[in-house]
Structure 1
Amino acid sequence: MFSKKKEKFQNNKMINEVEKRIPANVVHEITYEGAEIVVYTHNKDFFLNNEPIISQIVSELRVRVFVRAAPSLCKTIEEAETIIKKIVPDEVVLSHIHFEPEMSIVYLDVLHPELFYANAAQLIKEIRANTFWTPEITRLPSIKSSMTNMILSMLRGLPKKRKVFLKHTGQQIYADSLKKLEYVRLTCLGGFRQVGRSCLLFQTNTSDILMDCGIDVGYNDKQMLPIFNTPGFNIGALKAIVITHAHLDHVGALPLLFKYGYNGAVYCTEPVRDQMVLALLDQLDLAKYSDNVPLFREEDIRKLIIHTICLPCDLTTNIAADVKITLKNAGHALGSAMVSTMFFGENTAYSVLYSGDIKYGGTTRLLEKADSNILTNDTLIIESTYGGEADVHEADVRANFEEVENNLISIINKTITQKGNVIIPVLASGRAQDIMLVLSNYYRKTHHKIKVYLDGMLWDITAIHTAYPEFLSETFQRQMRDGNPFLDPIFVKVSTPGERENVIGQQGVIVLATAGMMNGGPVLEYFKKWASNPLNSLIFVNYQGANTLGKAIQGGVSKVTIPNNKGGAETIDIQLQRYTLSGFSGHADHKDILSFIQSLSEPPKRIIINHGEFKKAVSLSNTIYRLNSRKETVVPRPMDSLSLFKDFEV
């Protein structure tokens, strides 16, 4: 399944080109850091005044180049820390200073970076001039979380290995001279005609690239995983992996690749990295309390962290000798991104836009809609989770958001008035925060003393949201200036079994808990205790995948069998009230998907449908074909290989 082909890279071609353009007496070392090049200098003047030379290099070579001080030039850590504390204004709230001597970088962990950025140019200049360290600013979450602290510690734990990895990645990217682009092929390893185990393999005559690597949470056998034994998949040939967002159906199998020898880079946005690590650690923890053998180990997650390269949206980056990507906001969850990919050679270029999961149209309080300002697009790969036509799949029509909010509050009020409890199974990232904002808004308007308990990863994922406000909607950022709604007193963290038992014994409370499809996690503990009481309510606010417990309960079954903590199982009689509110979905509906396609700056020549049940994918494909002058549309099967581009004779 996981055949390997190891490669060694000693390529310094691009470094040599940079070195030719820099005065020889100022260079201590020139090295790759992924697709970027870093010049370490022992010359103070060049460190502080290099902009004309570096700008010329960037213009000529079209590669990002940065200058840092050689370690011998930097002030000692003790001296630098004293100087930095004097320079950084008190109102920024400098919480911690972390030095990485291997890269001459100093991380400043602050609570209010926006106050630093207000005078950033001058402050950074002062720190560089007085310490010769290069400062980088890290925003700390405004919600305290031991898990986010642990992730930060893991990220900074192995700087030497990180530097070696980044150098190796750069050597790989620049190893091959640009060749003729002979073909681009897509192989469907998972996530086609289904929702789950998203995994797409792109291959050219030079590079193999993987996009997403998820699991299907509705299974616990081999059907859970992408089809890695597909002909042509070779883990040793992979040059890079790109992750669109941190939900398990897109990242749940990723550490498995590191377990079996993958040694390359993983690209995603910063908030996706943090949420991904948290979700994978949680997945590993849940496996301890089930009969399932864990797919991977904690050491595989640690290796994943070292090998993750974070990119901002809208920055084009080489990830292989013949592949560039640009991440574009997808609007689905915090930091979620579409992947605009350019496969190129000396003769031509071919572009593919992979949507991942997108939200387009409608409004949520939390995120902006997907960005459709994408110029080149030969092939579009678009999701179809709610892609069915309205007359066939009524649930696939996006409800008015205000109406859905009112329905949610109405159900909650009715349940609490009769001293019942409310269970809302949620995906930890996205839907949970949407619901929290609705409840916060209700609390602030009415001042009703409701209690909302957050169980599972929700507290820690919400903390991550507060560390990346720039990825949230402008409306929400303005709201945060008047007080962070996630810090409202109605929200209470549940972190121990004892605290959970205390909540279960109460009446008139609301619980938000993972997992969103009820296939595991603390939500089951509440459900087992509250399911038999008709005064209680269960509210579904996100998609329920095939073969999941949530799907069965949503479908109306009267009894379910659930594993217990003693290695056995128990049958649960379901008498509570069940509701489905589809308007909170983070997915575009049928109409929104069509609008997104129409709004693209350049219409695609071919459209491939993925991430949807078969009937919905076909329904969307037929509509696109009919409305777009019979444009080529494809609904591939798992294991299908599609030739997207070819420029050779057989």
Structure 2
Amino acid sequence: MSTVDKQLEDVRATIDEEVPNHISISDVTYEGPELVIYTRDPKEFAADGDLVRRLASKLRKRITVRPDPDVLTRPETAEERIREIIPEDAGVSGLQFLADTGEVLIEAEKPGRVIGRRGETLREITKAVGWTPDVVRTPPIESPTVSNVRDFLTQERDDRRDILERVGRQIHRDPMSSEEWVRVTTLGGCREVGRAAYIISTADTRILVDCGDKPGERTEQPYLDVPEAIGSGASSLDAVVLTHAHLDHAALVPLLFEHGYDGPIYCTEPTRDLLGLMTLDYIGRADAAGRKRPYETEMVREAVKHCIPLEYGDVTDIAPDVKLTLHNAGHVLGSSVVHFHIGDGLYNVAFSGDIHYDNTRLFDGAVNEFPRVETLVLESTYGGRNDYQTDQDDSERKLKRLVSEAADREGTVFVPVHAVGRAQELMVVLEEAMREGDVPEMPVYLDGMIWEATAVHTTYPDYLRDDVKDRIHDADRNPFLADEFTPVEDGDDRAAIAEREEASVVLAPPSMLTDGPARTWLGHLAPDPDSTLAFVDYQAKGTLGKRIQRGADEVRIDGDSLSVEMRVETIDGFSGHADRQGLENFVKTMHPRPEKVLCVDGDESATQDLSSGLYHDYNVRTFTPENLETFRFV
């Protein structure tokens, strides 16, 4: 008998002691980080609202209860009863019964009404029909991404269950070594912006944090082929943890599966969906530019299938000696500060990913309170001594001024922008400005995957600030459904729109003009002195955006010379990154304050300036790693 099977026997014995005699337990198994209990008496389990909580506290594990398939009410009868129980204003749009797991998937416009106060309605459903309800939100904006991910995971549920059972046994195995040490190895993102990738390892476990590309330098990938990563085989990795779905942190995650990785990816649910959206777009842009694909679409599907979504604040075992907790990073939808608790109180490491310390229009500021943190791996994008951004109000005033001036000239304000995060931030500002009469009403064209990314945002309003969440819940007040927003359906529309003698705003990715729709728009609008190019995102060295931002009035695109006659402006207060003051405040107010800080994900001067400032002002040991350095902490 394996140690995991013996452990499950002990867990089963504890459950049998705690559960009343009239409730039968037919099986106990691990699925990923969760302990799954199968019972022939799901209604009795549901009747005792505190039973699962007591078991979770006793066993110190996340618990899911599932009914044996042969005790379930027939789906036709169950659906009728479920619809009677759920309040009519919940807006149930569909039910799907999954007999192999005893779950009923309920899609509703208002999931909270399906869940009920403290889960009361869910328990009522199980008491009535035996099925275990799982609730998802009906997207207010139809989203092929969300629908495809949900349909795919349903179709692949047998494979996914096998994956989760295998991962569960790996997590709960006995430690293989009595040694205690913690190391972080940098595979990319050091003294540069992009290709973020880091390995955190112990004597028993090896975890990859992020796996991105480098903007403007598509041939530069993280150093994945070193022994610390997948040079000795991708199966040597126990897990991948993803801070967020931007390409400089996530573009190459599917590549791991081409190299044989078959383990879990831990992230938030919106990050999972955006990972699928953005990596498929990444492949499409490579095709359009005539570049070799970094991986095939099948690898994107594998990555999505291996994702294990976690909610903010949930402490989760991901290895015998590692617990993971994700916290809001304030950067983009679902972005996370990643906290690792290693061993039995041995050491704690936090990776900031990309953070925004202050509140924005969309998100609350990054969380920086933890039970313990000895080492912080901190982004430094705006870590330079002069990297201070204008505040949000000033930035909004500048944007409104540019839009009003464009209206006077019947010109276009063209904003190359991240499709995920900054685009939606600007949409909220523009919708309010036009609704309140601060700027004239005009069409706002949304190109590339901005509209689809916006649909994903409306699917997960609980990750947004309360005021935006409340407006999304009210269809008549949803800011993203304003009449001014017009998706660009066809690339051929761009030339026709650019030639119109009307004021307009164009939002198009990517933010650094490296390729894609933004480059096409630049070609159409650059010769027009009545139009304005407004940069709102960070422009990395070596990108076309950086050259224009620095004053280049003539650039080459695909071998052709292009004269830049349009006005060029920078509005830095919309960045999803904390500026120098925000980064310092994140560390200054962090509880507890870390002993060591590794400054990463910024160019060389930014990382060194931030490192020096934190050392002198806050008395913490700081480092500016180079790629392929390893730090041992214990």
Instruction: Please give the range of the TM-score, normalised by the shorter of the 2 chains.
Output: over 0.9
2:356 equivalent in structure 1: 359
Q: 1:239 to 1:409 in 2, by over 3 A?
A: same
Aligned residues: 622
Question: Are the counterparts in 1 of residues 86 and 113 from structure 2 also a CA contact under 8 Å?
Answer: no
Q: CA deviation at 1:413?
A: 1.4
Matches within 5 A, 1:320-399: 320-345=319-344, 348-361=345-358, 363-390=359-386, 396-399=387-390
What's the TM-score once normalised by structure 1's chain length? 0.92
Question: Are the counterparts in 2 of residues 47 and 69 from structure 1 also a CA contact under 8 Å?
Answer: no
Deviations 1:239-292 (A, max 9, x none): 111101110000000000011110110001111111111111111122221221
Matches within 5 A, 1:547-558: 547-558=542-553
Give the counterpart letter for 2:521 in structure 1: Y
**Counterpart pick for 1:495 among 469, 489, 492:** 489
Moved more, 180-189 or 619-628: 180-189
Q: CA deviation at 1:49?
A: 4.4
Question: Are the counterparts in 2 of residues 337 and 355 from structure 1 also a CA contact under 8 Å?
Answer: yes
Q: 1:273 to 1:422 in 2, by over 3 A?
A: same
**Counterpart pick for 2:536 among 541, 545, 562:** 541
SS in 2 for 1:399: coil
1:79 equivalent in structure 2: 77
Question: Are the counterparts in 1 of residues 537 and 574 from structure 2 also a CA contact under 8 Å?
Answer: yes
Distance 1:281 1:10 in 2: 40
1:413 equivalent in structure 2: 404
Q: Give the gaps of 5 or more residues in structure 1.
A: 1-7, 391-395, 564-568, 646-650
Q: CA deviation at 1:125?
A: 2.5
Distance 1:181 1:41 in 2: 40
Deviations 1:389-429 (A, max 9, x none): 13xxxxx1021211111111111211231121121011011
Distance 2:54 2:483 in 1: 54
Q: CA deviation at 1:58?
A: 2.6
Q: CA deviation at 1:307?
A: 0.7
Distance 2:199 2:370 in 1: 22
Q: CA deviation at 1:52?
A: 6.2
Question: Are the counterparts in 2 of residues 211 and 243 from structure 1 also a CA contact under 8 Å?
Answer: yes
**Counterpart pick for 2:9 among 3, 6, 16:** 16
Question: Are the counterparts in 2 of residues 181 and 349 from structure 1 also a CA contact under 8 Å?
Answer: no
Q: CA deviation at 1:237?
A: 1.0
**Counterpart pick for 2:517 among 513, 522, 532:** 522
2:592 equivalent in structure 1: 602
Matches within 5 A, 1:141-160: 141-160=139-158
Q: CA deviation at 1:77?
A: 2.6
Deviations 1:121-142 (A, max 9, x none): 4422232122211111111221
1:60 equivalent in structure 2: 58
Q: CA deviation at 1:220?
A: 2.4
2:184 equivalent in structure 1: 186
Moved more, 374-383 or 442-451: 442-451
Distance 1:76 1:117 in 2: 22
Q: CA deviation at 1:340?
A: 1.0
1:459 equivalent in structure 2: 451
Matches within 5 A, 1:576-591: 576-591=566-581
2:160 equivalent in structure 1: 162
Q: 1:499 to 1:85 in 2, by over 3 A?
A: farther
Give the counterpart letter for 1:488 in structure 2: A
SS in 2 for 1:539: strand
Question: Are the counterparts in 1 of residues 145 and 273 from structure 2 also a CA contact under 8 Å?
Answer: no
Q: 1:35 to 1:214 in 2, by over 3 A?
A: same
2:267 equivalent in structure 1: 268
Distance 2:199 2:119 in 1: 42
Give the counterpart letter for 1:399 in structure 2: T
Q: CA deviation at 1:55?
A: 4.3
Q: 1:626 to 1:315 in 2, by over 3 A?
A: same
Distance 1:55 1:407 in 2: 52
SS in 1 for 2:436: helix
Q: CA deviation at 1:500?
A: 3.2
SS in 2 for 1:12: helix
Question: Are the counterparts in 1 of residues 184 and 199 from structure 2 also a CA contact under 8 Å?
Answer: yes
Give the counterpart letter for 1:599 in structure 2: T
Distance 1:579 1:19 in 2: 64
Question: Are the counterparts in 2 of residues 47 and 68 from structure 1 also a CA contact under 8 Å?
Answer: no
Matches within 5 A, 1:473-492: 473-480=465-472, 481=474, 483-492=477-486
Q: CA deviation at 1:531?
A: 1.0
Give the counterpart letter for 1:376 in structure 2: R
Q: 1:359 to 1:302 in 2, by over 3 A?
A: same
Q: CA deviation at 1:535?
A: 1.2
Matches within 5 A, 1:130-145: 130-145=128-143
Distance 1:479 1:67 in 2: 35
Distance 2:451 2:42 in 1: 46
Q: 1:410 to 1:595 in 2, by over 3 A?
A: same
Q: 1:119 to 1:381 in 2, by over 3 A?
A: closer
Distance 1:315 1:44 in 2: 25
Distance 1:70 1:287 in 2: 47
Distance 1:94 1:122 in 2: 17
Q: Give the gaps of 5 or more residues in structure 2.
A: none
Q: CA deviation at 1:118?
A: 4.5
Distance 1:339 1:468 in 2: 20
